[in-house]
Amino acid sequence: KIIEAAAKDADADEAMRWFGNLEADFGSNEVAATIVLDACARAGRPEDAVSWFTRMEHARQPLGDLAYSSIIHGYAVAGEPEKTVEWLLKMEAAAMQPSVICHNAVLDAFGKRGRVDSAGEWLQRMVASAVQPNESSFTTVVNASAKAEQPERAVAWLSEMERRGLQPS
């Protein structure tokens, strides 16, 4: 619980310290390691999260959705859209279905960088996949389009959103 509390506070250093204590006393624990990975991502330290991912991989610990999702989110917060895509594709290659939240992180990362075309392409990819975009997906691309001074694109995505029965937030 202490490691989890540190992770929720995005205190990666504290989570790693407590993990070290746990590991010294009881050995490695994949749940705790995943929580530390998540803490690193929340703290805006996605490279540290990747290091924990690699550590878990080498220890042959199970790597679930949370590990991949955390890294995707960490890179989105850091404004690195290519890395969000890289990890989303790795997640798919590991036979896991990225959630709408993972896809939205990719949209957000591209949107923050003003890369409206790329955000739109990823939204279209979502529409074509089993992951259905939600209000947040469309709103992210609409807002990115508006900020990029592309009102016609914003209106087009807003219309598509409404056509799908989704309400702008």
Give yes or no for residue 112 having a pLDDT over 70. yes
- Confidence bin at 35 (pLDDT 50/70/90): confident
Radius of gyration for the alpha carbons in the chain, expressed in angstroms and rounded: 18
pLDDT over threshold 80, residue 10: no
Q: 3-state class of 48 per DSSP?
A: helix
Residues 122-149, mean pLDDT to the nearest whole number: 92
Instruction: Band the pLDDT of 55: cuts 50, 70, 90.
Output: confident
State mean pLDDT over 120-146: 92
The answer to whether 99 and 125 have CB atoms below 8 angstroms apart is no
Whether the pLDDT of residue 4 is over 80: the answer is no
Separation CA 135–CA 158 (nearest Å): 10
CB 141 within 8 A of CB 157: yes
* Averaged pLDDT for residues 65-82: 94
Q: What is the pLDDT of residue 38?
A: 85
Phi then psi for 153, rounded to 5 degrees?
-70, -40
Count of helix runs (H) and strand runs (E) in the chain: 10, 0
What is the average pLDDT score of the chain? 85
Give pTM, 2 decimals: 0.81
